[in-house]
Amino acid sequence: MALKAVHVSDVPNLDLVPENASLALYSSGFSQAVDVGRAEFQIPKFLVIGHRGSGMNILQSSDRRMKAIKENSILSFNAAATFAVDFIEFDVQVTKDGFPVIFHDDYILSEDNGTVYERRVTELSLSEFLCYGPQIEQGKVGKSLLRKTREGKILNWNVENEDSFCTLQEAFQRVDPSLGFNIELKFDDHIVYQQHNLIHVLQSILKVVFEHGNERPIIFSTFHPDAAMLVRKLQSTYPVFFLTNGGTEIYYDVRRNSLEEAIKLCLEGGLQGIVSEVRGIFRNPGAVTKIKEAKLSLLTYGKLNNVPEAVYLQHLMGVEGVIVDLVQEITEAVSSMIKPMREEGEEERVFEREEQIGNKAKPQFSERELSFLLKLIPELIQL
């Protein structure tokens, strides 16, 4: 992969909001307001974030939960909101006519007269994008929807509870307003984006966010280093987190290849935090201390976040939130294992000491055991 370096100092601000604008990051559900224009940004509680709503779709999985609700849909977002999640995470791309839409993959796959074809999402108009899959209009039949697995197998994209595609604006209008949005700015790893292309995409997304965001908690995140720095340059209202695999995969752009590089990028670009693949944290637990010393927030994503014990261990390590697929299971586990921070500005974590809460035992680690686990886990995590 090759990425063109963008000189963010040359990019004009959008002037979408006043310079002193601040974000009430936690409105109805939380009492703390956070001014993200400051260098330091703090998350007041351990966050549980629903991945693509109430979980991503894995069509080849034998686990029905991974095919229960269409990912990245209004139905999935509102289903997640019925549990104690703080945010939902979803992927935003911009159509060729300038509309931000919610969809993860770079391509949409469909079938016509027995022939499978694919079209790049960003090369579709909004009307073309919306014509795939289930339709809102009663009696209207959309084009078939397929999906390619990582192994290259093409499957019908069928789930138990279907829903239509949606735009970013619809998400703001139709999703529970108390639910935070973690908006991932999606870019294709195999494209070299010119500066003006990045700016156009980001401006299209920011326009919708500032017109419809209101008091909703919002975080931006992206794997694209230049896009991360640009969106921070273009606005100062909402926090920007850099997404990284934490060294579990290697890319042409070295800024994506380690947690240390992620820290460096965040400090250079004034970003507020990092979202790492959880294996990157377990393989390199010492990086958590470096991230904290840099006054950056830390969230994680990955399959291990569907394991309650792995989530609890991250909490002990200092991770501030997890992106999960099994929303119900993990929100219940977190409620049982982790006591929320006290409201009156208390910064240290407060742990329940009861042996059992709600008939669910929580893991107990002594300092010696925790030290042993942190040394052992990197040996167990495979690339």
Q: Where are the beta strands (DSSP E) in the chain?
A: 47-51, 87-94, 100-102, 107-112, 115-120, 146-148, 154-156, 166-167, 180-185, 218-222, 240-244, 273-277, 297-301, 321-324, 356-357, 360-361
Asked whether the CA dihedral 331, 347, 26, 268 is positive or negative, the reply is negative
**pLDDT per residue as tens, the chain (383 positions):** 344 334 444 444 444 433 333 333 433 333 233 334 434 578 989 999 999 999 999 999 999 999 999 999 999 999 999 999 999 999 999 999 999 999 999 999 999 999 999 999 999 999 999 999 999 998 899 999 999 998 999 999 999 999 999 999 999 999 999 999 999 999 999 999 999 999 999 999 999 999 999 999 999 999 999 999 999 999 999 999 999 999 999 999 999 999 999 999 999 999 999 999 999 999 999 999 999 999 999 999 999 999 999 999 999 999 999 999 999 999 999 999 886 644 444 444 333 434 443 444 556 666 666 665 666 566 555 43
Return the pLDDT at 347: 43
C-beta of residue 132 within 8 angstroms of C-beta of residue 159: no
- Burial per residue of 156-169, b for 16 or more beta-carbon CB atoms within 10 angstroms, e otherwise: ebebeeebbbbbbb
C-beta of residue 325 within 8 angstroms of C-beta of residue 49: no
**Distance (Å, rounded) from C-alpha 217 to C-alpha 224?**
22
Return the pLDDT at 9: 43
Which amino acid is it at 325? D
**Distance (Å, rounded) from C-alpha 101 to C-alpha 256?**
25
Return the pLDDT at 377: 66
**Tokens 């019908």 sit on residue:** 156
SS3 letters across 207-262: HHHHHHCCCCCEEEEECCHHHHHHHHHHCCCCCEEEEECCCCCCCCCHHHCCHHHH
**Distance (Å, rounded) from C-alpha 196 to C-alpha 341?**
43
Give me 192's structure tokens: 């070299």
